[in-house]
Amino acid sequence: MAILSILKFPDPTLKKVSLPVENITGDTVRLVQDIVETMYAAPGVGLAAPQIGMLQRIIVIDIDYENPGKNLIKLVNPEIRRAEGELIWEEGCLSVADFTAEVKRAERVEVVGLNEKEQEVKVEGEGLLAVALQHEIDHLDGKLFIDRISRLKRELYTRRLKKMLRSGKPRPESPGLMI
């Protein structure tokens, strides 16, 4: 298994829609494990395949950072089947360096996908789990959390990032656990 590089905004791959996984093969299972290892190493509470440059509909989430692996969720071809309520959550992202913002999301979601044995799995989440599920599925649809904030905040972040990249300064690492 391997720890892979996480793509950073404004990499154009992050804006592309991922393709469904047709068949879960040994390569798929290895990719899922690589995504898990990369998420834990980052450290993050979620990671989607497009963030490592693979345009496949695969996400992994583990919001129980005190017991890594105990409540790990691995989903292939996840879909939100139900969303209820509303909450505002301060989000960050492993692909969006040094920036967090409040994002409006559904408070509770029901997500259906496949596990590594091609069996259907249903995940019901609220709070952080609901946010993480929605955040990672957004990645599969070519959306970043900054696409869900005001244009002004997004432009301020983009200008700051471009200035930093022009100056040759290294990108800051994401602080703490990120979605």
Q: CB under 8 Å to 122, separation ≥6 — which residues? A: 81, 110, 111, 112
Q: Count the helices and strands in the chain (H runs, E runs).
A: 3, 7
Active site residue 136: yes
Among the options 22, 118, 124, 136, which is catalytic? 136
Element housing 163 (H / E):
helix 151-167
CA-CA distance, 132 to 72, in Å (whole number)? 12
Q: Which of 4, 81, 103 is nearest to 44 (CA)?
A: 4
CA-CA distance, 118 to 66, in Å (whole number)? 29
Instruction: Read off the DSSP letter of residue 19.
Output: B
Catalytic residues, by residue number, are 136
